[in-house]
Amino acid sequence: SLCAAGEPDLSYRELKELKKANVLHIDVRERWEIDRFGKIPESINIPLGELMEALQMDPTEFKEQYNQKMPSKSDPVVFSCLAGTRSKQAVGFAMSLGFS
């Protein structure tokens, strides 16, 4: 299930369209879930338990850790997980840190 602040539930087709517009897709599932169920192409995995720390990292450290440019607070970001609960929490965490 996929979440974005303006659009709480996205379909896979909507996500594919958003990815064409350089939306950062953060998968907040645990690493074992990625290993078991597979990685979503062009997403980065930041388990929910690491997300608050990751979104407050120095941009250089973020790039080294996740091999991706750190999003700015105004960049479009989509969170996903298995059922939608963690991705909704991720949206809340990001918004509490000032992400729009």
Distance of CA 79 to the CA centre of its chain: 4
- The amino acid that residue 32 corresponds to is W
Phi-psi region at 53: left, alpha or beta (left = phi > 0; alpha = psi -120 to 50): alpha
Q: Which among 46, 6, 12, 9 is positioned nearest to 30, based on CA atoms?
A: 46
- Catalytic positions: 81
Give the chain's end-to-end CA distance (angstroms, integer). Answer: 20
- The amino acid that residue 27 corresponds to is D
Whether 5 and 100 have beta carbons less than 8 Å apart is answered as: yes
